[in-house]
Amino acid sequence: MENIAIDVSELEAPEPMRVILNALATLTKAQRLVVTHRKEPLPLYPKIIELGFTYEVAKNNELFTITIAHQA
């Protein structure tokens, strides 16, 4: 599976949500989106599920990594 990495950690709200949702709109089933964010984007998670994706979250130091893929 190909990773598509985006870093939204320097963006101000609501830009991270916009960038992530735009990236998900073009994500193929052979790709997963790996997002670096400075905050845990709690409002994003219901949208991810509603759009038919799954996600995993990991916190590394002060940053969150959210890996998003199409549901199997």
**What are the residues facing 50 on neighbouring strands?**
none
Residue 38, pLDDT > 90, answer: yes
pLDDT at 72 over 90: no
pTM summary value = 0.95
Q: Residue 62 — very low, low, confident or very high, per pLDDT cuts 50/70/90?
A: very high
Interacting residues of 2 by C-beta distance below 8 A, sequence separation 6+: 30, 31, 32
DSSP-based three-state secondary structure for 67: strand
Q: How large is the average pLDDT for residues 46-63?
A: 96
Q: Supply the DSSP string of 24-63, one letter for each residue.
A: HHT--TTEEEEEEESS--TTHHHHHHHTTEEEEEEEETTE
| Confidence (pLDDT) at 48 | 97
CB 15 within 8 A of CB 8: yes
